[in-house]
Structure 1
Amino acid sequence: MSDILLELKNIKKSFSPGEAVLDDISLTVARGEFVTLLGSSGCGKTTTLRIIAGLEQADSGSVWINGQNVTELEPDKRDVNTVFQNYALFPHMNVAENIGYGLKLRKASKAEIKKKVAQMLELVQLEGYEKRKPSELSGGQKQRVAIARALVNNPKVLLLDEPLGALDLQLRRAMQTELKHLQKKLGITFIYITHDQEEAINMSDRIAVMDGGRILQIGTPDEIYNHPKTSYVATFVGNANILHGIVESAENENVVIDLGCGKISAESGMDKDSAKLQPGEPVTLAVRSENIRLHDRDTKGLPATVLEKTFAGGQLRVTLQLQDHTVLTASRYGINTEVKEGQQIFCSFRPEDAVLVDREDAYE
């Protein structure tokens, strides 16, 4: 049996001529994998989910589940279930009836429905809530019911369309942990949609970052965060500074780059089979804000002016301006720092913390 459970092959979709919602995307998902489609509103992630579910038809390309081409199959023939952001619970049904509805449609016996509903209630920790209506439940409880209803038929793939978006921050974080534990316990393949980068990093085995109907990069959270291929991925996932310069010299994986306001060293991040950088070549670098170091004296860093100090979520953010007017952000946990607004300082970063992005092969 193949390890591949879901495969999208060259999916294209437009809702109006000349405006591609999905631009030839392909994706392979393994059995039991938790894959997140991450991107801003309008990037195509929900359309991708709907095409997998059979709620939308692609203009071209194919959808494969468990080795079967399901492109032309109706949604109820695909062995896929979906959890929506608004939960879509039936208001006139109680919790048990909502969870057992799919089994009833499949004409399961009353004894089987009762048994499986009880198992689902235990799984999502809602024992004793069988007779409550959706209006009597909290947001987190409604979300659990929606998940139980989606899981009761034991689908091969569970699609989740921003299911935590309506919850407050603390409950959302708690439910992230619960969902991840539930997925690992059941071994079901999850395809999850979110625009929240923290949510994607916390929950996913792999993340597919989308923009403009394309998958810009797919990889583990570590790969996406520490080795972004494009400036969009670098800035969308975490806080990254983007610097532009010209290659002065390139030896093995160490590169000296002239930024115009100073020279820095970086690592190319390319293997031996990749094209080598050439002196005079324009390049783009991404450096995470937490990797920017501040110095009150010249230590071969870049001269900068402190523009602003702000605090958010337990983090101090220092906004800097380089001599060529490029603006950088440095971040630190805590609220203490010696620098003051208007102060002239120097900033630097380790060569291994600068990642080359926007190379010609970034989308390959």
Structure 2
Amino acid sequence: MEALEGLGSILPSPASLWLLEQVSGELCKCCGVGKARWSQVAKSSPGSSSNTESHELSHSKLTFPAPPDASPPSKHSQDTGPATAATETQREVVWQQLQSVHWHCLSRCSRGAMGPGCASVLGWLLLAQVALQVTGGRPCDAKDFGHGSLVCACSATYCDTLDPLVLPAPGSYVKYESSKAGKRLERSEGSFQHNAKSPDFHLTLDTAQRYQKVKGFGGSITDAAAINIQSLSKDAQKHLLRSYFSEEGIEYNLVRVPMASTDFSIRLYTYADAEGDFELRHFNLTEEDTHMKIPILQAAQAVAKRPLSLYASPWTSPVWMKTNGAMTGRGTLKGSPGDKYHRAWAKYFIR
């Protein structure tokens, strides 16, 4: 199979080790390579340990409950806990073994040693490898503009990303850290250790005691935000929205949508500017909504894993409803609760 040549260019990085294990397993099953062969191939492959039982690859006992850190190891991403170095070493060993197994299975399949229908499966697995190459978190492109802290540059061609959140294994933790020195949600792992120097220190977590619920986090799509977003190139817009709303970003799930103009608008307007329009017959959205805010909201929802929660909030009622007759200033709603002004204002929210 000539299509298998040059696969080294799309081999996943160690960050995708856990997925490579799954891909290799399915590929080997498809090509008739048994579990015992996994161990044999790994032990005899270059770069693997052939005389250390703890390094022997056995598909039946080697599991990956959660994906490892998808960011390349760096001096900023190493945890100081004693378990970190051993974890990294183990990953590298297993990675080398899995590489050997994976290539053995590819070689076997390329020689035609596959069952009926496995050619199509192999094609899907190769496509999966290409996807794996781009799923790891990409590091911050740090820029210093002389204001005492670094920022991550995001452009049409590159934007840093995060790994999807995964619950750590029992007894371990995952830490995301940002700092003035330049760390930006850098991921590290560690294990909870017994501290013999502080035997009287106890941390108790009562999972039955609950307090307020947090619905989520987010931001506001004002006219100013929409204008700035749409001033970017299409590719830069996609990167920006993915950074805010997708799994590879900070996953905002709340969006405040201003009802008409705010202090972040370039003009003053409401949705019912016709004087005395208590029935709101002339109520209408504006180009700021139809051409800017709504398209951006739709694009944000398209990259979000879960439905976004939107809430609308006005900065002012139409001027003919206000005591000061102006969009700004200390005016209040005319009349009293239940009268025509308050009913019209309620309809305004519903519309």
Fold similarity call, TM over 0.5 = no
Report the TM-score when normalising by structure 1. 0.25
Which has more strand, going by share of residues? 1
Higher helix share: 2
- TM-score, normalised on structure 2? 0.26
Bigger Rg, structure 1 or 2 = 2
Structure possessing the higher relative contact order (Cα contacts under 8 Å, 6 or more residues apart): 1
